[in-house]
Amino acid sequence: MLTKWIPSLGLFLLLAGCAPEQPLKIFGDVPDFELTDQQGRKFDGRSLYGHVWVVDFIYTTCQGPCPRMSSHMRAIQNATSKGLRMVSFTVDPDNDTPAALAQYAKRFGADESRWSFLTGSKETLNMLGKDAFHLGSVGNGIDHSTRFVLVDRKGRIRGYYGIADGNPVDKIAKDAARLEDEKT
């Protein structure tokens, strides 16, 4: 008798808005990488494993969307748990030295224990921007992606969020919290 009610109960929960959320889709894996952070220290991408993290691509002399993206990253920093990590990769490694990135980080109130600004070889940055995150090549200056990427504890890409769609902070914070609660 109970088996007759189970499909009806599922439909009722779905219609009532109580259906469980589906897991976030997996878009691919982020490979290991080594770059340099805003303090001039070697940054090993493996240090992010075990953490949920948010990524964006910016450059420090941008007069367009980068300051807006960095303001959103600061809001993400303020709206999420201390366990969440944030990574801003430069698209202008010729000019974005560690010193320039450190000054930029200070300008946006980055908690450097959580938010890293990375520079390094164009080859590594291109591999990440184009091949790993599927956002485009590095070195194109103003012609770079304005999307944020959410990565889970295992280094898997789980979401893309654009600033063209409005303020993505609440959605990123919500999805990041879901990934932090995820068991797999």
**One-letter amino acid of 76:** I
Does 76 score more than 50 pLDDT?
yes
Q: Which pLDDT belongs to residue 4?
A: 54
Note whether residue 6 is domain-resident.
no
Which tens digits make up the pLDDT trace of 130-171? 999 998 777 655 567 889 999 999 999 999 999 877 789 999
More confident residue, 101 or 163: 101
Domain count for the chain:
1
CATH of residue 79's domain is 3.40.30.10
- Exposure string of 50-79, with b = 16+ CB inside 10 Å and e = fewer, is ebbbbbbbbbbebeebbeebbebbbbbbee
pLDDT at 165: 74
Query: What secondary structure letter does DSSP report for 28?
Result: E
Residue 152 lies in a domain: yes
pTM score, whole prediction: 0.86
- What pLDDT digit, counting tens, does each position of 52-67 carry? 999 999 999 998 889 9
pLDDT at residue 102, rounded to an integer? 98
Residue 101 placed within a domain: yes
What band does 5 get if pLDDT is binned at 50, 70 and 90? very low
Give pLDDT, residue 146.
86
Instruction: Please tell me what DSSP assigns to residue 119.
Output: B
pLDDT digit string (tens) for 8-45? Answer: 544 444 444 555 678 899 999 999 999 999 999 999 99
Identify the band that residue 104 occupies on the pLDDT scale cut at 50, 70 and 90: very high
Residue 85 CB neighbours (<10 A): 20
* Domain assignment of residue 102, yes or no: yes
Instruction: To the nearest 10°, report the CA torsion of 36, 40, 42, 47.
Output: -80
* Residue 156: domain span: 26-181
Does residue 87 sit within a domain?
Answer: yes
Beta strand ranges found along the chain (DSSP E): 28-29, 34-36, 42-44, 53-58, 85-90, 115-118, 147-151, 156-162
Cα 87 to Cα 11, 17, 52, 118, 164: the distances in Å are 41, 35, 11, 7, 20
What pLDDT score was predicted for residue 139? Answer: 63
